[in-house]
Amino acid sequence: MPLSDAACRNAKPAEKDYKLTDSGRLYLLVKPTGSKLWRMNYSFAEKQKTLSIGVYPGVGLGDARKARDAAKSKLAKGIDPSGGHVVSDDRKFRAVAKAWFNSRATGWVSSYSERIWARLEDDVFPAIGDDDVAEIEPSAVLKMLRTVEDRGALEMAKRVRQTVSSIFRFAVADDKAKVDPAAPLADAMKTNPRQKHRAALREDGLTDFFKRLHAYDGEKATRLGIEIVAHTFVRTGEIRFAKWTEFGEDRWRIPEDRMKMRKEHLVPLTPQVLKLLEQLREESNGSEWLLPGVEGYKPISENTLLFALYRMGYHSKATVHGFRSTASTILNESNLWRPDAIERQLAHVPQNEVRAAYNAALYWDERVRMMNWYSNFLLSKDTDLTDLLG
């Protein structure tokens, strides 16, 4: 019995998929999420295939039948009607994500908006960017998230899900989708046992570290970036999004929007670090970024430095963040520096000072001497001074 528009309109979701059949092998597939999808089964080249026609009610019963008839006409001519389901540009997930991003980015600091867009370009768009936002199923979103999890970035995968979910809710509000397929996936995400301490190098492992670092056969800029982190012990995001305009003759001025405590941070530049920066500038090809990515117009990806450490044999043995722990231990055990100066250089800000006035240059003279001492200490562990001698 042929379908009626009332039957399509009144179809309610059930626990499982079910079909409302029309004539000519056309049917409306009703999903548990509430989505209603037009499909048509057909045979071509001795294979059973299914044609995706569109989403109800955007594609009404009459239009679905016209599409079915057009498909049958192609079949009669020996043409596969599934030769390509064309999705209009404004309905692609990529376009909806761009509209969502533009509506929110004005309220974000630049470093945060850059991270969000890079996350979409790197992980999301390759998987679902060109799909009709209304036809994306939870399984497709989960498959995309699993690829992020599989590289060990479990917390990143959770943030990607949250971002994608927000985009789908935006699409629902804009009448481009009926449901948010990312919403039910929160409980499907893998969890990482919370580690009390990130893996860090001990003092007796520094000589071997520098040997491995100088033998690293990847990008020279990546190697130099790791070496700069070793000397400055900044956080990953602080060097990843660093721009050349932040560097002066004797200090690196990290803006507040990139700091964990949202306070500007100053890093004294030692002669060793200045030499590394000089070499790094030659590798940046005129980019505004200290560590530009492949395209040059955006920074390296989030895990570039970490994966380089993995290639050097430090998987589960050292992390980029771990250089902070290494420096803290060595500086404190030296008994040469006040703990408050060490904490300030680590950008650990007491809560009472967060609420009150903050002085980025507090203990500055001592911090300059301390950073020079620490660079020289690392130099004593480095048996290959190629990077620092030019």
Active-site annotation, residues: 235, 260, 321, 324, 348, 358
Residues in the chain, overall count: 390
280 neighbors 299 (Cβ within 8 angstroms): no
Q: Which residues of 175-206 are buried (b: 16+ CB within 10 A; e: fewer)?
A: ebbbbbbbeebeeebeeeeeeeeeebbeeebb
DSSP states along 44-103? ETTEEEEEEEEEETTS-HHHHHHHHHHHHHHHHTT--TTS-----GGGBHHHHHHHHHHH
Strand segments (E) across the chain:
18-21, 26-30, 36-44, 47-56, 251-254, 265-268
**H helix or E strand, kind and range, residue 239:** helix 236-240
- Is the C-alpha dihedral spanning 184, 188, 194, 198 positive or negative? negative
Alpha-carbon span 75 to 77, nearest angstrom? 5
Q: Is 346 helix (H, G, I), strand (E, B) or coil?
A: coil
Q: Is 358 helix (H, G, I), strand (E, B) or coil?
A: coil
Cis peptide before 181 (omega within 30 of 0): no
Alpha-carbon span 60 to 94, nearest angstrom? 25
What long-range pairs does 128-132 form, CB within 8 A, spacing at least 24?
128/93, 129/92, 129/93, 129/94, 129/97, 130/87, 130/92, 130/93, 130/94, 131/87, 131/92, 131/93, 132/55, 132/87, 132/91, 132/92, 132/93
Alpha-carbon span 304 to 284, nearest angstrom? 15
Alpha-carbon span 192 to 176, nearest angstrom? 35
Alpha-carbon span 331 to 199, nearest angstrom? 18
